[in-house]
Structure 1
Amino acid sequence: MFLLKSLSNVIFGKSDDSLVQLQSGQLFKLDPNNPKAPRELVFRDATATIRRTSTPHNYLLVITRVYEEGEEQLGKKPSGGDEDDSEDEADLFDFSVKDEQTFLLDQVLRLRRLGKSSGPFAFIWAELTGDRSGSWEFAVDASATATQVTLFEETAISCMWERQTGRPQDHAGDEEMREFAAKVRKMGEEPVGARSAKPFSTPVKSRPQLVNVSPMSLSTPQRPQPASPFATPQSPSPMSLTNTTANSPSTAEDSPVSIPVVETPEGDVLISVQAELYVWDARVNMYCIVRNNTTAEIVQTEKFEYCLIVREGENCYIGQPIDPTMSPSFSNEHQSFIWVFTDNEGRPLQSWSIKFLGDGSAAGAFQTVFGKCMYETQNRELFSKASKDDQEYVVKAYQEDVDMEDAFAGARSDDEEEDERMSEEEQDQEDEEDDTRGAGEVGTKNSQLAVGYKHDRSFVVRGNRIGVFKHTDDDQLRFSTTIQNIRSLDGKTFSPQKVMLHDQDSSLLMMKQSDEHNIYKMDLEYGKVVEEWKVDDIMTVDHIVAENKYAQMTPQKTLIGINHNAIFRIDPRLAGTKRVQDQSKQYATKNDFSCAATTGKGELAVASSKGDIRLFNKLNVRAKTHLPGLGDPIIGIDTTESGKFIIATCRNYLLLINTEIRESDGDLGFQKPMGSKKPVPKRLQLKPEHVAWMGTAVSFTPARFNTGEGDEKSIITSTGPYVITWNFRRVKQGKLYDYSIKQYNDNVVADNFKFGQDRAIIVALPENVEMVTKNKLQTPLKAMKSRSSIVNSPF
């Protein structure tokens, strides 16, 4: 019945006083008898917590004021301990607590929730002391999800039920609790004090927050971990709960947490191993044991459909379809498998892990079967049809701790130390923001971003307009002009669907929806289309890419075009159609080519919606190397200038591939076939516990390396409202979770580094454009204090 039903024992069985918490919001006092201030702000920043009392079956709603660092002389860093070990720990003390309002959770509060499936959310309840004509409102921060707010509401109702009946909540039958919840909600609909004071007249500012509504919420991604991220059964677990699951074979002592039993999926068991089951607990920043003697199985339920099962005897605790939304990863070091658990609508709820028992062979066997099942689920074809080399390539992609490049292992380089020192210095500087406003086109949103290499300009497409922004020396954006009403040569207005800078950034090549044969060239000095190139009368062009990685900085005229099964050179100097006939490669079968990228030498990497990648050293020949896909469509691809590394973007993860052929003299897969010496691809993905915190499925934008002279240092992408950068140097050492993050109030449309360095990032949002320095991307814990400072788009 309740969302709480699946987590009730986890919530009510927790060993500390707090059951559930909404981490951020504002507290208001509503007073209808005060016309000058019917809605008075009491706490500007506050948390809402449901706590136990010393009296059984009695609970408190506690609203706690939160001070920011500098607002009060609080939050001092604790003395003692090593400085390095407490670097991120210090952030825990940046917010200090003072002042509380407490309310006994009883029906007479007439607690009412505002906002159902989408925000903004708030809770209103009656004032039961003093002037009883008033009431209270907790306006929930916009970062909280509907699931988190629902869990808070249902926990409050269950607490009221316990007080009313004097019985533990797990004794309530479904019908009894349903009737009680309806009664509470009906009481909440009755007028209370100043309910007519329009409680949402003052919006709550949204900011990146950790909303700790359950033990499965997020911790900081880069906080130093213990030697092992797992709490052992012998250690006092912060989630030690009373075991109340029916027919459970474990005792409270050897099974710390009681979790609900689910229906066991039926099918053929492919593998069965013994394991311990863990869940992520943000309070201690580690996975804590919930069952220490379970069986983990992979079951085939239908053709090409598989399910992960974790059970203890006849009790099944997890039955989850295997698909990419799991964000799966295997760790050799900890002999473990970690993944995200999602609800029926695909929303991440929590992060689970199993730690394999035995001599270590079980982990390898389980990973092999899991990789096979994921491949067949995505490709809808038998894994056995792939070659042995390709099978190994696919399976190893789910392993997290393998160095990408042995040369980068060991101590950090001097320039890496210098980069970190400079970053710390930049962190102390105040960024000046250039906010330039102008008229926006009604009903349209920003859709594409093109960053200049030759000149310090960025171009943002919005409908049939293009906004031009100048990059300043202090890493800011300044609005320059708007190119209005883009028209083809016949005078018809259109909205560009794909754009690419060309010919020393003097022109912008554009493609038009429903026009698969032509490319439009805009002269940026005049701001209008001056040429239309018909590529071919029959062959379509779906995507275009520069002749080489930095061709747009040169007078280079030719470029590369691709469609679903062909690759060809385009030369606009040709008379008639522009496709170069003898520099074209067309496949007989549909390969579903989806994107392409070129190296500094003009070598070509072409990816497909089937997930595979082909490497070419020139056109009109077969690919030198064919890298098999994991089954997920590739929506973006980029290469380093040398071509040694490729970053391919799938919806839920990035795939990093080293193209250097093992045991060779530095030859790359662009130049020679890799054959059996294919590399171990590395999946770059968000930690499962971070995905659970975000509360929404991952959907990456095309990832890119930073550009300019010297080796690439960073990778950038985004998902939803989050911009994410990986430290490429650390990734090559096998540190796959070395990433930073920044949250915005809206989904990110496109992002890229400023040319020449990886310090400044251009971010396009639906309504805004911003350049942000990389030191403003933080761990989620630090992001709690940050405010979004967006430059309004002036076109």
Structure 2
Amino acid sequence: MNILRRFFLSNKTHSGDTSVSIPSGQLILVRSPASPKSENECLYEDVILSIRETSSPFNYQLVVGKNHTSEQDLISDGDDENNEEDELFESDTTVLKSFLIDAQLKFILFEDTESEILGWKDLEGDAGDMYEYRINPTVPQDTVDHFLFAIYRCEYERKYKRSSADIHAASLKEFVVEQKDLQLEGDHILSSISTASSTLDLHSNLQGVDDEDEADEEDEGDEDEFQDAIEEVATEEQVKGELIGSVLCDLFVYDAKKQSFKTKQKGMEASIEDIGHWNYLMQIKKKQSEEDTKSKDFSIVSYVIEQLDPTFRFEQFSFIFNYFTEKAGYTFLMRFANRDEYDKFQKMFAKALWQHNNEREWRLIKETEQDYLVDTFRDVSLSDEDMPDAVSDDDDDVEMTDSTVNMKDNESDSEDEQKTRYKNSAEHNKGLKIGLKDDRAFISRGNKLGIFRTDNDDRKLTFSTAIESISSSRQKNKKINLDRMMLQKGDTTMIIQDTADPNTIYKMDLNRGKVVEDWTMTKDSVGIPVVNFAPNDKYAEMGDEETFLGLSKQSLFRVDPRTKNKIVDSDFKQYKSKTNFSQIATTDNGYIAASTKGGEIKLYDKLGRNAKTSLPGLGDDFIGLTTSSDGRFILATCKTYLLLIDVKIKKGKYRYKMGFERSFGKDDKPLPKKLTLKPEHLAYLRQVCGNNMSFTKANFNSTLQYKTNTPSSIITSIGPFAVTWSMRKVLKNDPEPYTIRRYNDTVMMGDFTVHNAHRMIFTLPDDVTLASSKSFKKPSTEFGGVVKEYQG
């Protein structure tokens, strides 16, 4: 049963009922890129969003209210008549901001890597300005659904001046907003909005509501159930666009219960169509003859988006992708007759996906870059004759029992009072930073920092201490929620930032347990918001150096806290064009890698100079960026895949140099190798975690204990699964290079300990655990019992 039907059958609440609210979130004013003010602004940190009736019939307010007051205070109707500017609006002391709910606001619900966001237009701001209400991840999905549908009903009542109490769900379709609806008006869309958002899914649900049966279907035999379930994918072509091209193929579907692909239909035609506003459709349907134009064979229609989990297999001339309905997820395989058909479709798909992600014309980039972007879909081999041997995955690893510290366990009465306060916090574990000196783990939990240590054998993890109520050194009542963390001076100092306030960076003395300095970056008396920072070199955190690297949207610079303006003029690189930097990382030699929101990577040998190498972006922003110690490998984390890039120059005058030191030839840029889970595994995860699932920042294991600088493993997580890739298997193009491990909750972040390359520390919302690489299993073992569920 779809979400909209569930809402209307189970809840007849009136639109203005006082129970309609979202209890916790953050209000942000997102300014248009064309706005002269340019920077976004966090207006309120923790506020309630609610709906209430006005004094005028069929009109409702969207109210942003203080979170420390009672719900009754916030949403009471009140009789205050002091506000004479607009008779529709009422006032009380708890209201921070209010909006008349109207279709002109263009409400849109979408997702990013951390939370769901409700967005709407700022009708009083500059063209393209919008508000974002970033919903706290702890808010139940039903509450969000309930709230959004209540907004649609309010819009309906305002437009038609009648009650929405007994209307059919389909009557609300006109109020569902998608990205293209905003683009038609020429608005500058929020950069975080994706057509793979929940709004797109909701639109699909609304379209199907008239045809859906009231009752759930009963289970049938396994084979019949599988075939019947697949048939719901079948859809008639409803959207016509400009044909980019088409190819012939045979279609196969993955049978999760048998764990193999089986023939679905042969003689299919796969096409890509441009439907405008940077949106593209992939349609797969039976190739029809002139005599059979009325045939209604099985067909698939899908947007061309990254959430298809596209995977090209050159050796089989095949393309694998995932497709989702309300009830299930399916993995399909298209097999092409020959290489020409395979290459043609690969280029069409790459072009459409790139244009969708970048909102730019493919023809505007150089032909060499076009070839580069198409080639990134290949299963690239990184192995060569001078590739150093990575440390064996099993070297020096021994079996161990996981050591877990649970924040919610009830311990003895003699338990340390500080630990009790830390674990009883309403917040959850979020960030993780491993100290280079002695493997201490620093874990952020709201405005608290927990510190954990491993024993001498790296086989047990224990709670050490906690720093509580972290706040500004200048404004003691200004709490700091730790988002970014960097250690200095042998793990005695930590540089921190609350991303809700990009204009300020804080220095915390870990020995004293308090913030001792607040810094604001300025250049020529102009403030520079910091989007990220990194140590001068990969292991600078172990030394006494106080300077470090900073990154803004348009510049790279060195921060020297001892100076007045904090920015070193001689080490400042400013770009005039809109670069939109987001991530930064350094090597052992101090080389710098910086990436943009479109996934472009720039490599520098020294701060203040032009980049030696620029690698084109695929259109996806990076969640994280890191390098191997020697700088040979770059590892970038995207939402559903990792990119591993070997930046050693293989031929020509500068052979054996790194891309940080010299530029690659124009036809010799290194291709990234995509690391991801098998499509059928991703399909299962999407069923469990939804489209909001994302990899966490991936890291190489430390090689301080070895003479080689080549890492042996990569660690990341997605949903409740921790995932490790073997570098040895990746470099040898092993078909199954990763192992996994399932936890009983979402894995928030993971990283290797520094002094043992086979030990990993993971944070779960309320757990911290130390694990061994031997505790990970092959996907066929760990996924075997659960992947069968995703079509059930």
Q: Give the structure-1-normalised TM-score.
A: 0.64
Give the whole-Å Cα distance in 1 for the aligned partners of 2:430 and 2:583. 18
Matched, 1:370 2:353: no
One-letter amino acid of the counterpart of residue 579, structure 1: I
Q: Is the counterpart of residue 566 in structure 1 residue 565 in structure 2? A: no
- How far 1:459 moved relative to its partner? 0.7
Task: Tell me if 1:341 matches 2:304.
Answer: no
The separation in 1 between residues aligned to 2:2 and 2:515, in whole angstroms, is 59
Q: 1:435 to 1:543 in 2, by over 3 A?
A: closer
* Letter matched to residue 356 of structure 1: F
Query: Of residues 531, 539, 553 in structure 2, which corresponds to 1:550?
Result: 539
One-letter identity of the residue aligned with 2:256: A
The question of 1:522 aligning with 2:508 is answered yes
Residue by residue, what CA displacement relative to the aligned partner does 1:749-770 show, whole Å, maximum 9, x if unpaired?
A: 2211111343111111222211
Q: Quote the residue 1:319 is aligned against.
A: 301
Moved more, 584-593 or 516-525: 516-525
How many Å separate the matches in 1 of 2:211 and 2:365? Answer: 55
Partner residue, 1:475: 459
Q: 2:659 aligns with which of 669, 673, 679?
A: 669
Counterpart of 2:267 (choices 289, 293, 303) is 293
Which of 420, 429, 433 aligns to 1:446? It is 429
Which of residues 497, 513, 525 in structure 1 aligns to 2:483? 497
Question: In structure 1, what is the Cα distance between the partners aligned to 2:212 and 2:504?
Answer: 64
* 2:689 equivalent to 1:703: no
Residue 395 of structure 1 deviates from its aligned partner by 0.8
Distance 1:117 1:350, change over 3 A: farther
Aligned CA distance change for structure 1 residues 259 and 551 (closer, same or farther; 3 Å): same
| Paired residue secondary structure (1:689) | helix
CA distance change for structure 1 residues 671 and 175 in 2, over 3 Å: closer, same or farther?
closer
Gaps of 5+ in 2: 4-139, 144-208, 289-294, 412-418, 787-792
Q: What is the identity, as a one-letter code, of the residue corresponding to 2:548?
A: L
Cα contact 1:609–1:635 (8 A) shared by 2: no
Residue number in structure 1 paired with 2:675: 684
Cα separation, partners in 2 of 1:474 and 1:599, compared to 1, 3 Å: closer
Contact 1:547 1:558 in 2 (8 A): yes
2:784 and 2:261 map into 1 onto residues whose CA distance is 26
Look up the equivalent residue of 1:770 and give its one-letter code.
T
Larger radius of gyration: 1
**Distance (Å, rounded) in 2 between the aligned partners of 1:656 and 1:277:** 31
Matches within 5 A, 1:217-236: none
Aligned to 1:484: 468
1:642 shift after superposition: 1.1
Asked if the contact 1:585/1:621 (under 8 Å) is kept, the reply is yes
SS at 1:447's partner residue? coil
Aligned residue type for 2:301:
G
Distance 1:569 1:260, change over 3 A: closer
Query: How much has 1:420 moved relative to structure 2?
Result: 3.9
Q: Is the 8 A contact 1:327 1:686 kept in 2?
A: no
Contact 1:701 1:750 in 2 (8 A): yes
2:142 and 2:402 map into 1 onto residues whose CA distance is: 34
Q: Return closer, same or farther for 1:240/1:444 CA change in 2, 3 Å cut-off.
A: closer
Q: Does structure 2 retain, via aligned residues, the 8 Å contact 1:494–1:512?
A: no
- From the superposition, tell whether residues 784 and 722 of structure 1 become closer, same or farther in structure 2 (CA, over 3 Å): closer
**Residue aligning to 1:462:** 445
TM-superposed CA distance for 1:686, in Å, is 1.4
The answer to whether the 8 Å contact 1:309/1:316 transfers is no
Output the CA distance in 2 between the equivalents of 1:673 and 1:729.
27
Counterpart code for 1:684: L
Name the counterpart of 1:275. 249
SS in 1 for 2:630: coil
User: Whose RCO is larger (CA < 8 A, sep 6+)?
Assistant: 1
Letter in 2 for 1:671: E
Q: Deviations over 1:108-154 (max 9, x none)?
A: xxxxxxxx9989xxxxxxxxxxxxxxxxxxxxxxxxxxxxxxxxxxx
Distance 1:688 1:785, change over 3 A: closer
Give 1:570 deviation, angstroms: 0.8
Offset of residue 783 of structure 1: 3.5
| CA distance in 2 between partners of 1:717 and 1:592 (Å) | 25
| Post-superposition offset of 1:703 | 1.2
The one-letter amino acid of 2:276's match is: E
Which one of 567, 581, 596 corresponds to residue 608 of structure 1?
596
CA, structure 1 residues 175+705, in 2 after alignment: closer, same or farther (shift >3 Å)? closer
CA deviations on 1:350-381 (whole Å, 9 max, x unpaired) are 11000101x32111111111111110010011
1:381 corresponds to 2:360: yes
What letter is aligned with 2:634? I
Give the Cα–Cα distance (whole angstroms) in 1 for the partners of residues 586 and 310 of structure 2: 30
Q: Which runs of 5+ in 1 are unaligned?
A: 4-115, 120-173, 186-211, 216-237, 246-256, 788-795
Aligned-pair distance for 1:177? 9.7
Equivalent pairs counted in the alignment come to: 547
The reply on whether 1:585 has 2:570 as its aligned counterpart is: no
Are 2:404 and 2:767, in contact at CA under 8 Å, matched by a contact in 1?
no
Shift of 1:421: 7.4
The letter for the 2-side match of 1:539 is I
**1:522-568 deviations in Å (ceiling 9; x for gaps):** 22122122333343252222211010011111222211000111100
What amino acid is aligned across from residue 332 of structure 2 in structure 1? W
Q: 1:649–1:471: structure 2 CA closer, same or farther, 3 Å change rule?
A: same
Aligned to 1:750: 749
* Match among 207, 212, 235 for residue 262 of structure 1: 235
2:751/2:762 contact within 8 Å kept: yes
Equivalent residue for 1:512, pick from 498, 508, 514:
498
Query: d(CA) in 1 for partners of 2:520 and 2:2?
Result: 60
Instruction: Call closer, same or farther: CA 1:756–1:466 in 2, change over 3 Å.
Output: same
- Contact 1:279–1:352 at 8 Å: present in 2 too? yes
* Inter-partner Cα distance in structure 2 for 1:497 and 1:432: 26
Q: 1:404 aligns with which of 379, 382, 390?
A: 382
The DSSP-based 3-state class of the residue aligned with 2:315 is: coil
* Cα separation, 1, equivalents of 2:718 and 2:699: 14
The residue that corresponds to 2:738 in the other structure is: 739
Q: Which stretch has the larger CA shift, 594-603 or 505-514?
A: 505-514
How many angstroms does 1:493 deviate by?
4.6
Query: Structure 2: which amino acid aligns with 1:530?
Result: V
Secondary structure class of the residue paired with 1:699:
coil
Residue 219 of structure 1 is matched in structure 2 by none
Could you say what secondary structure the match of 1:407 adopts? coil
The structure-2 alpha-carbon separation of the partners of 1:213 and 1:604, relative to structure 1 and needing over 3 Å to count, comes to farther
Q: CA deviation at 1:476?
A: 2.5
2:183 is aligned to none
Matched letter for residue 570 of structure 1: V
1:695-724, Cα deviation, whole Å (9 max, x unpaired) = 133411111111232320111111222211
Contact 2:406–2:766 (Cα < 8 Å) also in 1: no
**Deviation at residue 330 of structure 1 after TM alignment:** 0.7
What amino acid is aligned across from residue 461 of structure 2 in structure 1? L
Q: 1:656 to 1:778 in 2, by over 3 A?
A: same
Instruction: Please report the RMSD computed on the Cα atoms of aligned residues, expressed in angstroms.
Output: 3.4
Map residues 40-51 of structure 1 onto 2, 5 A cutoff.
none
Q: Name the CA distance, whole Å, in 2 between partners of 1:770 and 1:585.
A: 41
> What secondary structure, in the 3-state scheme, does the structure 2 residue paired with 1:641 have?
coil
Question: CA separation in 2, counterparts of 1:241 and 1:458?
Answer: 47
Task: Give how far 1:617 is off.
Answer: 0.8
The TM-score with structure 2 as length reference comes to 0.64
Letter in 1 for 2:700: F
1:602/1:774 CA distance change after superposition, 3 Å: same
* C-alpha distance in structure 2 between counterparts of 1:736 and 1:383, whole Å: 32
1:693 paired to 2:667: no
* Worse overlay, 298-307 or 447-456: 298-307
SS of corresponding position for 2:537: coil
Matched residue, 2:331? 351
The offset of 1:466, in angstroms, is 0.9
